[in-house]
Structure 1
């Protein structure tokens, strides 16, 4: 069977996402990739943690699913704007090819938000499996690996941005969530766009404290959980 190539799609807020015909799944919400990332991972993840822990540096972030690089890029911009050091660890066993990420319109958004420092492309072009600084405030390690095999570092914030439980059920099982939760530091926060009941049940079983928070455009709710002391 011929492999179906990824397709770039435009979401409702004008930002791009990548659609995978083979699994009928896109990397971001069709209601707005940019807005979803800002809402779920920056506003209710990073900034929520920072509001409780000002002065605790560096902030250590772990991301499941580098994908288009949108979450990493927006976090880099946040670190630069706030002059807060961030250590970012992200994994993805199947990185996008250059012809895909080079065509995403985050490059044009980079020009608007950062006077075109080329951060978005730089994140993609950096070597995998090596940790390196991108700026004075943002250091990233990208690992071409799955969650089941990767070694995790202590994390303050977890961006759980895997494909949906219907497409990647193994990543949402209790054993994988336990691996992530055990790596989190006390008072760490776990955020994801997913609001499935079994996810929340598993996080509660692991001793995490769940919040009720609104979802991004197009979704009534999302999931945020805090690790207890």
Structure 2
């Protein structure tokens, strides 16, 4: 049985530790800081400079932190986001109620319901939250993703390679490459040399960026435009 334990990270926000996989869902140095740095700053804001309509594929819904912070950023910048997330092992709704993201993020009162709604809504059905955010979550394994040439961004937030190595190997990374439009990007907290070599082998160009607190580097991979 996979026991999950909520704990407080260094920025006061919660993460969850999985006994089965031996890893936490977010960095102990700050869950919100990590999401802000890796996914919001290095991906969403990077793309939003060029276009206001953005399609995001998230690999690993987990606690829902990446999704709710993306929603808040979309409202703040008046973006139009289609957000599709994939999760094979969802956390329980009871655990969702104990996560403190709403209070730590100073959630606007009119948005207080959104975080739980992301967890409570039906799987495999689109949900229009508002004009800024359409949400779709798939109860599936990462390997089952078959969409091609559709997304602008992949949030690759799988557990670390030493915990789930097959999720970081070429067959799945090829699926991620195929899922992106030309000039689409994949971002991940992981900066291991082997992972970067795998990303290059399937066609990505690699940018090594400064990492979030507790990590020296992170990775942004770009799908080149076809000549």
User: TM-score, structure 2 length as denominator?
Assistant: 0.94
**Cα distance between partner residues in 2 of 1:210 and 1:180:** 14
Aligned residue in 1 for 2:213: 217
1:50 equivalenced with 2:44 (yes/no): no
Aligned residue in 1 for 2:186: 190
Q: Offset at 1:209?
A: 1.3
- Structure 2, unmatched stretches of 5+, are none
**Cα distance between partner residues in 2 of 1:114 and 1:135:** 14
User: TM-score, structure 1 length as denominator?
Assistant: 0.94
8 Å CA contact 2:57–2:85 kept in 1: the answer is yes
8 Å CA contact 1:193–1:222 kept in 2: the answer is yes
**Cα distance between partner residues in 2 of 1:116 and 1:220:** 37
- From 135, 143, 146, the counterpart of 1:151: 146
- Choose between structure 1 and 2: higher strand proportion: 2
Q: Offset at 1:58?
A: 2.3
1:134 equivalenced with 2:141 (yes/no): no
**Cα distance between partner residues in 2 of 1:177 and 1:98:** 31
8 Å CA contact 2:8–2:14 kept in 1: the answer is yes
8 Å CA contact 2:145–2:175 kept in 1: the answer is no
**Which range is displaced more, 184-193 or 205-214?**
205-214
Deviations along 1:52-103, one digit per CA (max 9) or x if unpaired, are x23xx52000000000000000001111111110000100011110111110
Q: Offset at 1:5?
A: 2.2
Matched residue count: 223
What SS does the aligned partner of 2:33 have? helix
1:208 equivalenced with 2:199 (yes/no): no
Aligned residue in 1 for 2:30: 32
**Which range is displaced more, 116-125 or 216-225?**
116-125
What SS does the aligned partner of 1:130 have? coil
Q: Offset at 1:206?
A: 1.9
What SS does the aligned partner of 1:102 have? helix
**Cα distance between partner residues in 1 of 2:96 and 2:102:** 9
8 Å CA contact 2:33–2:213 kept in 1: the answer is yes
- Structure 1, unmatched stretches of 5+, are none
**Cα distance between partner residues in 2 of 1:22 and 1:213:** 31
1:113 equivalenced with 2:107 (yes/no): yes
1:7 equivalenced with 2:1 (yes/no): no
8 Å CA contact 1:107–1:121 kept in 2: the answer is no
Q: Offset at 1:9?
A: 0.5
What SS does the aligned partner of 1:163 have? coil
**Cα distance between partner residues in 1 of 2:56 and 2:134:** 10
Aligned residue in 1 for 2:75: 80
**Cα distance between partner residues in 1 of 2:191 and 2:208:** 10
